[in-house]
Structure 1
Amino acid sequence: MKPSGSTMISSSSNHTLNSTGGGCPWEVSDKARLCRFLCYGSEGDLYTAREEGHVTMESAGTLLSMLQEGRGAEVVEEIKRFTQDGRAVGLGPSFFALALCSQHSELKTRQAAFKALKEVCRDPAHLFSFIQNKKELKEGMKCGIWGRALRKAVSDWYNEQDAMNLAAAVTKCKQREGWSHQDLLRLSHTKPANEAIALICKYVTKGWKEVQLAYSDKENSEEVVKVLSYLEVVEKVKHSCDETEVVNLIEEHKLEREQLLTDHLKSKPVWRALLKDMPLQSVLRILGKMTSNNILEPGSSETQDICDRIQSETALTKAKIHPFNILLSSENYKRGQGYQGKTKWEPDRSILKAMDSAFYKSFTNVEPVGKRFLVAVDVSTSLSSIVPGTSVSTAVAAAAITMVFAKTEADTHVLAYSEGALVPCSISADMTLAQATFELVKIPGGSTDCTLPITWATENGKAVDVFIILTNNPLWTFTASPVRSLKKHRQKSGANSKLVMCGLTSIGHAIADTEDRGLVSICGFDLGALSVIRNIAQDLI
């Protein structure tokens, strides 16, 4: 319900604020637009959770402008930062941008792009994506891609790898997006830098039999012998129908499921062997499938081992698992059914308990930003709906997001608001997720005014760097413009305040259209949304 005297803000509204009272510019710069593009594939102020659309030239206007202005080296540096520092929601925009730089008319830009190839494309899947982007750009730009510079860059990518790492990489990720290692080695005319790389190149282009013929009677170096032995194991498992032998090879040589045949993955012992050293992120994704197939059975040693790994502080730290990632996996597992297909399972209590423990332990993986946060939850409508694309209710999501900041940022204030006023809310850092969720759902609903938290902070002399407003309401209502309210807070507090407006149930409409760099809208919520919040808090987008 829209309260009287309030203002509805939609994509058609446009409020421009070029500076605060302190003279700090808030106009969205070209660099900020570029960084938004690298972060989530759009230059606008709207991030839509779980939207993995194909990046196009139309969405990269500022990127193109910066290249035309001779700022290509600056663009490449930002691409490197976003890929290396984990700032991006997804890496697709970075591969597109690097491909575009590598085909620009200015020599310095092309050189910078090719020099950065290995730093940006750290595994074969990245490299294949970069090459595919170049192919698609070639079709639009009417220029070739396999010139001397690309041939050298791709050759260097292979030649500068550690031989054993490369042997594992080419056997785990053989092809992607229509490209294979055989294609890239042939088109780049790669000349191997050493004997071990030469062995891998021969294996990729000629096959295992040719390798055996070429190296069986030779005096080989220690490194070549190691690579030969590894490739022999990979070939052996590919031709083995003996379940016991496959399990032994997996356990002894740390083989992964990408190196096995489809028939191998029908075996329970094979899956149990794979689970022992499978990356924790991958384990969390397939818990439902493993329970459904009775690979993880109640009370079994395998289930106990998985539970120990899930809640191991060492394992969680090594995998850099974020608490919101644990929550998404836990709620999905609790659901007992996959999003696609007919896979169903009875959630195992011990696994659920382990994931609950992991949720709290993983907070140590969240690096504090060190800013003053105010997290405000709109309880004017029921928080019982589901965040699109997840199994998480909006109440649990709001409580979890609040906890992430309350537990990891030293200066975090939590508010709830309803019926046109702020309401008491006692969420604290020492609460459990269930307790925090209960605090939110017990508050009665009413009308919405999303500027209330900003007004409260301004009137109470509370300087805030980042306002995070969470609502279940897909439409925002305000008694005043959020940009005007934010500007007033900046002027009175002296803080470079920013506003993140998150519609938890929104599925993609613009909540606010503004040229104020300090305001970003989020539709839905996922792990990427937390990256967006972190980036805006640190003035990166």
Structure 2
Amino acid sequence: MSRDPLAAVSAFNTPQSARLPGRPEQVRNDGGGFVFAKDLWTRLEDFLILGTCGGTYYVHEWQLTERNTGVLFDAIAEDGPRVVELLTAVSTARPPRAPKPRPALFALAAAYAMGDPATRQAAKLALPKVARTTDHLAQFFGYFKNLGGKPTRGGASPVTGRSVRTALGSWLLEGSPDDVAFKACKAAQRRTPQGEAFSLRDVLRIAHPVADSEQRKVLFGWIAGNVPDERAREALPAVDRFLTAKAVTGVAEAVRVVRERNVPWEFLPDELLSEPAVWEVLVDTVGMTALLRNLARMTRIGALKPGGDATRRAVARLTSGDALARARIHPMDVFLALRVYGSGRAQPHPRAELQRWQPVPAVRDALEEAYERSFANVEPTGKRLLVAVDSSGSMGYSGISLGGSPLGTVYELACAMAVMLARIERGGVHVIDVDTAVHASKVTPRTNLREIAAWQPSGGGTDLSLPFTWALRERMEVDGVVVLTDNETWAGRSHPAQALARYRQALNPRAGVVVAAMTAAGYSIGDPKDERVLNVAGLDASLPMIVNGFIRDGGQESDGGRTS
């Protein structure tokens, strides 16, 4: 008797290469398995946080970019003001939720170029909040030219309607005149993503903003070159400090103005920023975030060196719990600084010269201590968590970089997030690696973050039903499961949702699940109809707090299955 093919259809054990019965909305992932498509707004949030640089094992960078920009354009057409609200929330959160500002700036430019009047009005109000520096403004303007300009022989020229002109003018009107002067002095000129020069003088010519005070009128005139330096010095303290710094001709004089006038490092002439003695004094005056970002520069030029006095003072600042708390330094901030510094190399863009440095051991140790201290104000959930890190071959393919410095593979960063969760929960977390089998993880609450750089994924296929089948087999009762993955599962004999249902039925019916996507692929193993499943972006700096709140509240969210 021939086998009945209908007997293979099961609501309890469906191969991941087939759709779940009764779930026609499932889509095929790039690995060949069936998963749940994320809704439009969750996909947009993933793009704003994760971006598309580097592509994935299965999808080239340009394909991933095309996919995600299509999501953005669809979201603008559906509800442009909501797009602006979301990108503003991601961009202005503290700690920053996205490692890079460019996706949010691109989305804001698209909102201007493609949105309706209500969208453009929302974007106009958001521009000064999202584009906080001249560099951000230049990136925004370059993206806008490509999306809302007109073609020329050399590329594109902007079509600046009233809304855009008003928005650019509002950037110069936001905050006090001296605050704007400070930003102008830090960087009056930058380059767009296309490599074109962009200056605040250009902004004045395009926008023609009307000064709201005599002080701002002086500022605009000075930027345009119509007001002499002496008049600007009298009206604007930031300009006075800037001109004082620019008049410096030697190292000794630069050291003096930093100490006596508290001149910020961005105001000093470029040639003096390569002098070790200048940075040796700046170690004590720059903000904590600037200190983290300039450790590589200070090491490269010799200001930070083994046994040096400046190194001792930098270490003291980095390891001060009070200083970290005042600056609201997040563990992700320190982790990124540690990976950039430890990489020993940076190349901000392909045309730039490759920069190299030899990391100072005492500074690396200080960064690790700063990482530990930055957890001081994070309260654990008190719940039991199983964290599953996808260790399949695709997780070791893509590399992520920041400022031209390699941060590591997607797998390494997933392990780092697992370490953070384990550190917060202080022993309430068990971590496993998963491909087509379950492997012991090296992650512990005390894992040294530099160790992770040497870790390699186990490789092979992907079966993301395993965290739940393994926990059931081991009779491990947990309150929540966190899965860090690219969602390219295909190898299992049952779907993750089916394995989760069995686990809940046998051990804990209220177990919550957080699926942290490490790439912006647009789909997830997390069932959007399950109110106790949450989809989030894996590189979101707020991930530990999202997990904390979701699991603490019993996995109950008003927008079940959506990212918070």
Q: How high is the TM-score relative to the length of structure 2?
A: 0.71
386 and 433 in structure 1: CA distance in 2 versus 1, 3 angstrom threshold: farther
Match in the other structure for 1:146: 160
Q: Are the counterparts in 2 of residues 285 and 329 from structure 1 also a CA contact under 8 Å?
A: yes
Q: Within 1, Cα distance between the matches of 2:124 and 2:34?
A: 41
Q: Within 1, Cα distance between the matches of 2:521 and 2:222?
A: 51
Choose which of 72, 77, 83 in structure 2 pairs with 1:68.
77
Counterpart mapping for 1:91-130 below 5 A: 91-104=101-114, 106-130=116-140
Q: Deviations over 1:203-231 (max 9, x none)?
A: 100166x343xx49xxxxxxx8451x442
Q: Are the counterparts in 2 of residues 375 and 412 from structure 1 also a CA contact under 8 Å?
A: no
**What is the CA-CA distance between 1:279 and the residue it aligns to?**
3.1
SS at match of 2:314: helix
Q: Is residue 275 of structure 1 aligned with residue 275 of structure 2?
A: no
Q: Deviations over 1:31-59 (max 9, x none)?
A: 223322333346xxx989xx998997763
Q: Within 2, Cα distance between the matches of 1:106 and 1:434?
A: 47
Amino acid at match of 2:424: T
Runs of at least 5 residues in structure 2 that lack an aligned partner in the other structure: 1-14, 18-27, 348-352, 551-556
Q: Is residue 164 of structure 1 aligned with residue 175 of structure 2?
A: no
Higher RCO (C-alpha under 8 Å, 6+ residues apart): 1
Match in the other structure for 1:467: 482
Task: Indicate the larger mover: 110-119 or 480-489.
Answer: 480-489
Match in the other structure for 2:430: 414
Task: Indicate the larger mover: 172-181 or 458-467.
Answer: 458-467
Choose which of 204, 223, 226 in structure 1 pairs with 2:223.
204
Q: Within 2, Cα distance between the matches of 1:10 and 1:55?
A: 13
SS at match of 2:375: helix
Q: Deviations over 1:454-509 (max 9, x none)?
A: 213345373554422579xx99754533354345556773445343476xxxxx89
Q: Within 2, Cα distance between the matches of 1:116 and 1:428?
A: 41
Choose which of 152, 176, 179 in structure 1 pairs with 2:198.
179
**What is the CA-CA distance between 1:325 and the residue it aligns to?**
4.4
**What is the CA-CA distance between 1:307 and the residue it aligns to?**
0.7
Match in the other structure for 1:505: none
Match in the other structure for 1:246: 254
Match in the other structure for 1:354: 366
Percent of pairs identical after alignment? 26
Q: Are the counterparts in 1 of residues 435 and 464 from structure 2 also a CA contact under 8 Å?
A: no
SS at match of 2:386: strand
Q: Are the counterparts in 1 of residues 435 and 460 from structure 2 also a CA contact under 8 Å?
A: yes
Runs of at least 5 residues in structure 1 that lack an aligned partner in the other structure: 1-5, 18-26, 217-223, 503-507
Match in the other structure for 1:311: 319
140 and 264 in structure 1: CA distance in 2 versus 1, 3 angstrom threshold: same
496 and 133 in structure 1: CA distance in 2 versus 1, 3 angstrom threshold: same
Match in the other structure for 1:257: 265
Amino acid at match of 1:452: L
Match in the other structure for 2:387: 375
Q: Are the counterparts in 2 of residues 369 and 534 from structure 1 also a CA contact under 8 Å?
A: no
Q: Within 2, Cα distance between the matches of 1:10 and 1:376?
A: 20
Amino acid at match of 2:72: L
Q: Within 1, Cα distance between the matches of 2:384 and 2:292?
A: 33
**What is the CA-CA distance between 1:250 and the residue it aligns to?**
2.1
Amino acid at match of 1:244: A
**What is the CA-CA distance between 1:269 and the residue it aligns to?**
1.9
Q: Within 2, Cα distance between the matches of 1:532 and 1:446?
A: 27
Amino acid at match of 2:366: A
Q: Within 2, Cα distance between the matches of 1:416 and 1:333?
A: 28
SS at match of 1:364: coil
SS at match of 1:376: strand
Q: Within 1, Cα distance between the matches of 2:449 and 2:92?
A: 36
**What is the CA-CA distance between 1:198 and the residue it aligns to?**
0.9
Choose which of 32, 35, 40 in structure 1 pairs with 2:50.
40
Counterpart mapping for 1:502-541 below 5 A: 516-517=527-528, 528=539, 530=541, 539-540=562-563
**What is the CA-CA distance between 1:179 and the residue it aligns to?**
1.8
**What is the CA-CA distance between 1:195 and the residue it aligns to?**
0.9
Q: Within 2, Cα distance between the matches of 1:368 and 1:47?
A: 33
Amino acid at match of 1:103: A
Q: Are the counterparts in 2 of residues 466 and 498 from structure 1 also a CA contact under 8 Å?
A: yes
Match in the other structure for 2:22: none
Choose which of 379, 401, 409 in structure 1 pairs with 2:417.
401
Q: Within 2, Cα distance between the matches of 1:241 and 1:58?
A: 52
Q: Within 1, Cα distance between the matches of 2:124 and 2:316?
A: 44
Q: How high is the TM-score relative to the length of structure 1?
A: 0.74
SS at match of 2:477: coil
**What is the CA-CA distance between 1:102 and the residue it aligns to?**
2.5
**What is the CA-CA distance between 1:106 and the residue it aligns to?**
2.8
Q: Deviations over 1:414-462 (max 9, x none)?
A: 1436897767779664x4538998xx99xx9999865322213345373
Q: Deviations over 1:139-193 (max 9, x none)?
A: 3699963222222232233223212211110010212223211011111111211
